[in-house]
A and B are shown apart, each in its own frame.
Chain A
Amino acid sequence: MIGPGLLRGLKITLINFFRFPATIQYPNRRVWLPELSRYNSLTPLKLFLETPKSAILSLFGMAEIPMKIPQSPRFRGNEFAWFEDRCTGCASCAKYCPLGIIEIVTSPGSTDIQEGENYSIDVFDIDIGRCMFCGLCVEACPYDALHMGTSFERSTTVRNKLVINKDNLNNSDKKPSSWYRPQFEEREFNPFDSEIEDHYEAGRHEKPEKRTMKDRWVDRNN
């Protein structure tokens, strides 16, 4: 039972003992003073004056700052980025969803002078509690209105809050993942640094200039 093989195994555990850890501290990680001052962008002296407790802790490497987990831009988080201005209410996403958890109610709404009649979206509910984040709805969307989000910290204590409705979707951060959105990868859009402000930027096509839009709608007959 006992032989040199045990020592060879112990050698491997010894080598691994001195390896750099592969684990990531989450949600906070402990830092020393230089990193804390860099994180707060304050000089160490100011740090001691403003937040003495964490500054003293940082002398022992015990001050805590939030940890940002390295993620891929295609990461499918448990939220959605939705652009109401792009959505036509065609309900392709609702039809393509394997679980049928997207509820869309539309009504013949406003009339846009330039585009003609369009539907107004009354209800756009996604039941996150039953969603499995397969991303098929995003694949089905023909107008690039619905995108997977990249954030994943959405836990609640109430089950009703897991249903995200139109207001939540409109007010949430527009940090879409590039899952099935090759235009974001071509543009090298990083959802962890920047946010999409304008709904034109989320589409597959270039944003038309104002002049060309005028050509299209006003000076068409000239």
Chain B
Amino acid sequence: MPSTQPVTVNLGPQHPSTHGVFRMRVTFDGEEIVDVEPVFGYLHRGSEKLAEERTYTQVLTLTDRMDYVSSMLNNQSYILAVEKLANVEPSPRGVWLRMIASELQRIASHLVATGFLIQDLGALGTPLIYSMRQREYILDLFEMLCGARITNSYLRPGGVYMDAPEEFWPALDKVLLDVPHAFDELEELLSANEIIKSRTIGVSILSPESMVNASITGPMLRAGGVDWDLRHRNPYDFYDQINFHRPLHNSSDNFARFWVRIQEARESVKIIRQCIDKIEPGPVRPSFDEVPRLLRPPPGDVYSAIEGSKGELGFYLVSDGGIAPYRCHVRASSLINLTLLREMLIGELFNDLFVSFGSIDLNMGEVDR
């Protein structure tokens, strides 16, 4: 029996599979992972510091660029924090519109996550392009709403900046009809294929207790069977008027994480349909007399969190009564979901490294901010 010697390999930061610029120092013993040391900060842009010298509306453009595959949800989280800080009463139509927009963004984000799982497993291109194609139709809807596809500064304190155009509603119906078919296809590719099953089921299992201790949230936690969804537990906007089901899985492996994401996107379609039923005509934001362009919230601090596509996404804002936040801190779900990376990977094989890493569905723009 030949003896093996541990080898330390540097992965990244410029590596195509690290979903951005992420570096890992991995020690292998043969094919088995012995130790992982994550190194990040290569995409640090100082968004939190930059927010201190921008007015409350201008900070919105920074939040677009934090998690750039779900910028609408970042906008929503930030705007909710500002509304809580400045005691702004939002307009109902604006709230329904931003709920529709953020659920669309959740579908788009889960499409990206699922597509890249199959890409990480080695199915180069084809399944990823199926999901990206479907995401493109959602981005077309965002272009109709706010003129940008990814960095969409759509929301404003008190609602959204402008009402949806007329051609948006038929296009939205068309997308809502298409999305379940796209997820049927992805699920057929993902959950029927024996190779994908054998490579994801039972890999990188995390116990629910350790995940709760590490304050992991989002689809990753629900894949471990913990029923924790802020839309249900701590309803913001009008989620208390919406009925939706929270998909749970018990095995907490790589397969469960992606199964939960697919089912969650199907629930988002149902949420959007309920929003369309309940939306009523009216103003989409309060007038500039009530909510001026230059907000001056009273001194104080506030923390407000939403259920983002990757977990609990919260903004902590401190106001000193001026036009800019005194301090802005982001509870980035991607960063906190990374905390158990070492526990996930130790004992697994080299092949599963990037699959497990991708199953966190992290975004380096949000990790480093």
Q: Is A134 an interface residue (CB 8 A)?
A: yes
Q: Is B161 an interface residue (CB 8 A)?
A: yes
> Which of B61, B145, B192, B197 sits near A74, CB closer than 8 Å?
B145
Q: Is A113 an interface residue (CB 8 A)?
A: no
Does the CB pair B148–A182 fall under 8 Å? Answer: no
Give the size category of B's interface with A. 20 to 34
Q: Is A49 an interface residue (CB 8 A)?
A: no
Bitwise, A123-140 to B at CB < 8 A (1) or not (0) is: 000000000111110011
Residue of B nearest to A74 (CB): B147
- A3-11, A28-36, A154-162, A197-205: which lies at the B interface? A3-11
Does the CB pair B195–A72 fall under 8 Å? Answer: no
Given contacts A74-B144, A76-B148, A180-B162, contact A5 B197 (CB under 8 A): yes
Q: Is A1 an interface residue (CB 8 A)?
A: yes
Does the CB pair B151–A12 fall under 8 Å? Answer: no
Does the CB pair B153–A135 fall under 8 Å? Answer: yes
Bitwise, B115-147 to A at CB < 8 A (1) or not (0) is: 000000000001000100100100010011111
Given contacts A1-B194, A180-B162, contact A136 B147 (CB under 8 A): no
> Which of B60, B147, B163, B198 sits near A72, CB closer than 8 Å?
B147
Does the CB pair A9–B192 fall under 8 Å? Answer: yes
A180 to B145, CA, bound (A): 11
Q: Is A177 an interface residue (CB 8 A)?
A: yes
Does the CB pair B143–A74 fall under 8 Å? Answer: yes
Q: Is B309 an interface residue (CB 8 A)?
A: no
A133 to B293, CA, bound (A): 18
Does the CB pair A8–B147 fall under 8 Å? Answer: no
Q: Is B189 an interface residue (CB 8 A)?
A: yes
Bitwise, B37-54 to A at CB < 8 A (1) or not (0) is: 000000000000000001
Does the CB pair A177–B198 fall under 8 Å? Answer: no
A139 to B285, CA, bound (A): 14
Q: Is B58 an interface residue (CB 8 A)?
A: yes
Main secondary structure on chain A at its contact with chain B? loop
Residue of A nearest to B140 (CB): A72
Instruction: Please indicate the chain A residues that have their CB under 8 angstroms from the CB of B290 in the complex.
Output: none
A76 to B147, CA, bound (A): 5
Q: Is B193 an interface residue (CB 8 A)?
A: yes
- For window 144-162 of A, CB contacts with B under 8 Å fall at 148
Instruction: Please indicate the chain A residues that have their CB under 8 angstroms from the CB of B130 in the complex.
Output: 16
- Total A-B pairs, Cβ < 8 A: 82
Q: Is A189 an interface residue (CB 8 A)?
A: no
A16 to B60, CA, bound (A): 39
Given contacts A72-B144, A180-B162, contact A8 B126 (CB under 8 A): no
A71 to B130, CA, bound (A): 22
A200 to B254, CA, bound (A): 60
Q: Determine which residue in A4, A13, A72 has the highest number of CB atoms from chain B within 10 A of its CB, and name it.
A: A72
Does the CB pair A9–B133 fall under 8 Å? Answer: no
Given contacts A74-B146, A96-B293, A136-B57, contact A6 B194 (CB under 8 A): yes
Q: Is A185 an interface residue (CB 8 A)?
A: yes
Residue of A nearest to B195 (CB): A1
Q: Is B31 an interface residue (CB 8 A)?
A: no
Instruction: Please indicate the chain B residues that have their CB under 8 angstroms from the CB of A2 in the complex.
Output: 194
Q: Is A80 an interface residue (CB 8 A)?
A: no
Does the CB pair B162–A5 fall under 8 Å? Answer: no
Does the CB pair A180–B192 fall under 8 Å? Answer: no
- For window 147-161 of B, CB contacts with A under 8 Å fall at 147-148, 151, 153, 161
Q: Is B165 an interface residue (CB 8 A)?
A: yes
Residue of A nearest to B136 (CB): A22
A185 to B166, CA, bound (A): 9
A72 to B164, CA, bound (A): 12
Q: Is B289 an interface residue (CB 8 A)?
A: no
> Which of A5, A98, A179, A180 sits near B58, CB closer than 8 Å?
A98
Does the CB pair B153–A12 fall under 8 Å? Answer: no
Does the CB pair A12–B188 fall under 8 Å? Answer: yes
Given contacts A72-B143, A76-B147, A132-B61, contact A5 B293 (CB under 8 A): no
Instruction: Please indicate the chain A residues that have their CB under 8 angstroms from the CB of B240 in the complex.
Output: none
- Chain B: minimal CB distance from A138 (Å): 10
Does the CB pair B143–A22 fall under 8 Å? Answer: no
Ranked nearest first, the 8 interchain pairs of A and B with the lowest CB-CB distance are A5-B192, A74-B147, A98-B58, A76-B147, A134-B61, A179-B147, A72-B143, A3-B194
Using a CB–CB distance below 8 Å, which chain B residues touch chain A?
54, 57-58, 60-62, 64, 126, 130, 133, 136, 140, 143-148, 151, 153, 161-163, 165, 185, 188-189, 192-195, 197-198, 293
Using a CB–CB distance below 8 Å, which chain A residues touch chain B?
1-6, 8-9, 12-13, 16, 22, 71-76, 96, 98, 132-136, 139-140, 148, 177, 179-180, 182, 185
